Amino acid sequence: MSKNIKLRKGLDINLKGKAEAVLESAPMAKSYAVSPLDYECVTPKLLVKVGDKVEAGQALFFDKNNPRILFTSPVSGVVSAINRGEKRKLLNVAVEPDQEQVAQSLKVTDIAKAERSEIVEMLLQSGLWTRIVERPYGVIANPEAQPKAIFVSAFDSAPLAPDYNFILKEEKAAVEAGMAVLARLTEGKVHLSARQGSEGYMAEVKGVEYHTFSGKHPVGNVGVQIHHIDRIAKGDIVWTVNIQDVAMIGRSVLAGKVDMSKTIAVVGTKAPKCGYKRIISGASVESIVGKVEADTRVISGDVLSGVQTAADGYISANANALTLIPEGDVYELLGWAMPRFHRFSVSRAYFSWLCPKKEYNLDTNLNGGERPFVVTGLYENYLPMDIYVSYLLKACLVKDLDKMENLGLYELLPEDLAVCEFVDPSKIEMQQILRDGINLMIKES
Amino acid sequence: MGLRNFVDKIKPTFSEGGKLGFLHSTFEGFETFLYVPNTVTKKGAHIRDCNDIKRVMIVVVLALIPATLFGMYNVGYQAGIEGVFPAFWYGFLKSLPTIIVSYVTGLAIEFAFAQKRKHEINEGFLVTGLLIPLVMPVTIPLWIVALSTAFAVIIGKEVFGGTGMNVFNPALLARAFAFFAYTPQMSGEAVWYADGKTGATALEQLGTTGEMQWSALDAFFGFMPGSLGETSTCAILIGAALLLFTGVASWRIMLSVFVGGLAMGYVFDLAGMTEYPVYYHLLVGGFAFGAVFMATDPVTSAQTNTGKWIYGLMVGALAVLIRVVNPAYPEGMMLSILFMNALAPLIDYFVVERNIARRKKLIKNVK
């Protein structure tokens, strides 16, 4: 077992509305949706039309940039709607589930004996391939590529994050089977990182390089872990898979058929009940939390890097939590001059430092106006990586590709900058700036 | 709330297309001053820290208050007024016009530029506007204050793109402008007393005779002539404590300026070029004020942590070097900080290059 990696930089934001260790099954939703917008740089091309009957694991659309990558239905049923936005941009494909669920069976189930190319093809066909993320850039893995290594983080350190030890308590076999699949995809190692002190059974998983980390958010981000295990240099390709998706792949392989069910955390002060729900990927928000109150921000994922989701929308494919917090569209008289005991700040210009154990109920107010970069040295305290954040962001803003590359663009994804964005008094949209920079890099290379 | 309703009622008049739409930025400046806006997060992190630039700037203003209040008292004290309150009141009346002129001139220009650029108004001048009178002699004619403030804001800041983009510290630039353009009103023996008295400052005395007429304790508490805010090292240190505690100013810079100054002082002491105690350098003139409030300006100082150490050490060392070696400028702090403002991006460049080099080495290691 390797040495524990302790990170000193970062921030844990103590929020109200944590998930209690209670697991319930959500009722079958009226409809499930698959959206190309859950992934970066996907140009969808439809394979179905409204009224078509589909099985779970049957393709709904594919990516024009890479036709081998299929996006499949999580449930069996009838395609009920193809929702489009401006300029006929595909928003999602909705499927109304049948009473009886039928799933397509996998072509390859004996992972140890199959060729690598057969395993890749099986994952592509079933749609499980879309769960593999490629770095640099954070896009769906290119099936033609050979990754240097595959990284899995066994914990999430974001505020109100789900506890995977609880979610995957009964799924050790599935996790191990999933890891075995990943091991066949790379010539290099499969790295698994757990949080020190809450390793669960992760230390016992075979066939992986095991690491432990301790520290504050974003210590659970796989990008930060890669930086401390085996940094991404120019020309490297590595893949990452969320631990719950590893279990999903493993479970499907063990059962011999596509199974996209998962457990998500329902959290936040506006959630009707904070706990865990068993759902199928792409379920409607309504099926998970019922009617949402007015003035509520529904987020697929965590409060720092999740995506805003409509109350009548669907949870993102990659989300392992549904967070509901109050909207903050109110004025605050002379707020910047007030003590603001109910709000949280890392700055000792406020008083949060007096009560480090206090749980906060934060809303979505920006708490100020956007300003140019003024403060210095702050961001670096919240990113445990050897990267100069403001220099990289400025390179992204001026679209200087060489500088972006030199300053560490390949090592970062927006989620890794989420804490910096949170603490920034200039309210700069760092995650968006970085994403735009990454997408520009993809376009130019 | 009545006030909120009133603001909402007049808002359309000042919005784009409204009758007074050209005052859009000004209105918004006042509105956001009164109320933290109801803007919610759109992209990225859904929750945000409640700290903003307004708060950051107001902490700096608060940190300047002890030095300002003592400076006002000292004006009266130097003029020979008996009693704490009468002396303070005398100094208050003498220095208030300078403060008002500095704020009015600077804010008017800031508002005009924000309007023109359709930007929100930046809070940076709340600090600059107070810094400028604090680094001027109390007898400074008001038109010089107005002129140098205008110069600093337009040439020093707005031509570079406004707050966050400037190369030089605007307040120091205002002082440098006044110092070189109107030297008789900025230096010499007559400008430091509000009542027409004359006398050399501690720095001049040290520079010429190697002694000063005040004790080290007087110098520490600030009972000596000088620019409004710079004399009391004690009051400045109270402000420094607030800046360091809240983390608004960089402790690396502050510490390294003092270390750099002391180190250079010892060099001259060992070389036999100065005969007074080395720590005098930190007590007299604008050294402490510059180290705490000017050198730490995050926009114009070095931005990387390593860079901050180098920058601070050089600011301190250069200030003492100019003081001792160049008799034409008894005060070296202003020039040393401005010079290092110009060099800060270069220091950062080398620090960032090392980061890039580490990243490039990674590629070679792999192959």
Partner residue facing B165 (CB), from A346, A372, A377: A372
For A39-73, b where at least 16 C-beta lie within 10 A, e where not — what string?
Answer: bbbbebeebbeeeeebbbbbbbbbbeebeebbbbb
A–B: how many Cβ contacts below 8 A?
220
Partner residue facing A429 (CB), from B43, B47, B303: B43
| Cβ within 8 Å, pair B250-A376 | yes
Q: Report the gap between the CA of B180 and the closest CA in chain A (Å).
A: 29
Q: Provide the phi-psi class of A301: left if phi over 0, else alpha when psi is between -120 and 50, else beta.
A: left
pLDDT for B219: 85
Q: Which residue has the higher pLDDT, B43 or B354?
A: B354
> Which stretch of A321-330, A332-341, B55-64 has the lowest confidence by average pLDDT?
A332-341
3-state class (DSSP) for residue A266: strand
Q: Is the pLDDT of residue A366 over 90?
A: no
Quickly state the pLDDT bin for B243 (edges 50, 70, 90). Answer: very high
Q: Does residue A227 sit at the B interface (CB-CB below 8 Å)?
A: no
Quickly state the pLDDT bin for B122 (edges 50, 70, 90). Answer: confident
Select from A333, A351, A361, A367 the residue whose CB has the most chain B CBs within 10 Å, as the one to mutate to test that interface.
Answer: A367
Q: Is the pLDDT of residue A1 over 70?
A: no
Encoded tokens for A442? 């993809």
Select from A238, A365, A429 the residue whose CB has the most chain B CBs within 10 Å, as the one to mutate to test that interface.
Answer: A365
For A105-122, b where at least 16 C-beta lie within 10 A, e where not — what string?
Answer: ebebbebeebeeeebbbb
Chain B partners within 8 Å of A306 (Cβ): 46
- DSSP per residue, A90-150: EEEEEEEEPSS--BPBPS---TTTS-HHHHHHHHHHHTGGGGEEEETTTEEPPTT---SEE
Interface list for A 190-219 with B (CB within 8 A) = none
Q: Report the gap between the CA of A71 and the closest CA in chain B (Å).
A: 25
For residue B20, give every residue at least 6 positions away whose Cβ sits within 8 Å of its Cβ, in sequence order, or none: B13, B14, B27
pLDDT for B365: 61
Q: What are phi and psi of A431, to 5 degrees?
A: -65, -40
pLDDT for A341: 78
Cα–Cα–Cα angle for B344, B349, B353, rounded to 5 degrees: 155
| Element housing B335 (H / E) | helix B333-366
Chain B partners within 8 Å of A408 (Cβ): 355, 359
Q: Which residue has the higher pLDDT, B124 or B33?
A: B124
pLDDT for A441: 94
Q: Report the gap between the CA of B353 and the closest CA in chain A (Å).
A: 9
Interface list for A 13-42 with B (CB within 8 A) = 13, 15
**Among candidates B137, B173, B363, B265, which has minimal Cα distance to A232?**
B363
Q: What's the distance, CA A383 to chain centroid? A: 18
Q: Is the pLDDT of residue A364 over 80?
A: yes
Search chain A and give the residue with CA nearest B53: A425
Search chain B and give the residue with CA nearest A387: B355
Q: What are phi and psi of B188, to 5 degrees?
A: 100, -160
| Cβ within 8 Å, pair A374-B355 | no
Token look-up 């890669």 returns A226
Q: Does residue A43 sit at the B interface (CB-CB below 8 Å)?
A: no
pLDDT for B345: 94
| Cβ within 8 Å, pair B52-A425 | yes
Rounded Cα–Cα distance for residues A99 and A82 (Å): 21
Complex prediction ipTM: 0.89
Q: Note the pTM of the prediction, 2 decimals.
A: 0.91
**Among candidates A347, A362, A396, A332, which has minimal Cα distance to A268?**
A362
The answer to whether A7 and A228 have CB atoms below 8 angstroms apart is: yes
Quickly state the pLDDT bin for B366 (edges 50, 70, 90). Answer: low
For residue A368, give every residue at least 6 positions away whose Cβ sits within 8 Å of its Cβ, in sequence order, or none: A336, A425, A427, B36, B37, B48, B51, B52, B53, B54, B55
Q: Report the gap between the CA of A438 and the closest CA in chain B (Å).
A: 15
Q: Report the gap between the CA of B194 and the closest CA in chain A (Å).
A: 35
Chain A partners within 8 Å of B56 (Cβ): 347, 349, 374-375, 425
3-state class (DSSP) for residue A32: strand
User: Residues A109-128: pLDDT tens digits?
Assistant: 788 889 999 999 999 999 99
Q: Report the gap between the CA of B109 and the closest CA in chain A (Å).
A: 18
A136: cis peptide before it, omega within 30°? yes
User: Residues A271-288: pLDDT tens digits?
Assistant: 999 999 999 999 999 999
Q: Report the gap between the CA of B236 and the closest CA in chain A (Å).
A: 18
| Cβ within 8 Å, pair B44-A390 | no
Q: Report the gap between the CA of A426 and the closest CA in chain B (Å).
A: 6
Q: What are phi and psi of B141, to 5 degrees?
A: -60, 140
Q: Is the pLDDT of residue B15 over 80?
A: no
User: Residues A117-167: pLDDT tens digits?
Assistant: 999 999 999 999 999 999 999 999 999 999 999 999 999 999 999 999 999
| Cβ within 8 Å, pair A13-B32 | no
Q: What's the distance, CA B29 to chain centroid? A: 23
pLDDT for B364: 65
| Cβ within 8 Å, pair A390-B303 | yes
Encoded tokens for A69? 């990558």
Chain A partners within 8 Å of B352 (Cβ): 388, 391, 407
Q: Report the gap between the CA of B344 and the closest CA in chain A (Å).
A: 13
Rounded Cα–Cα distance for residues A279 and A24 (Å): 9
Chain B partners within 8 Å of A386 (Cβ): 355, 358-359
Partner residue facing A364 (CB), from B47, B163, B248: B47
| Cβ within 8 Å, pair A369-B37 | yes
Select from A374, A387, A411, A433 the residue whose CB has the most chain B CBs within 10 Å, as the one to mutate to test that interface.
Answer: A374
Rounded Cα–Cα distance for residues B141 and B266 (Å): 38
The answer to whether B51 and A343 have CB atoms below 8 angstroms apart is: no
Rounded Cα–Cα distance for residues B266 and B289 (Å): 21
The answer to whether A384 and A8 have CB atoms below 8 angstroms apart is: yes
Quickly state the pLDDT bin for A372 (edges 50, 70, 90). Answer: confident
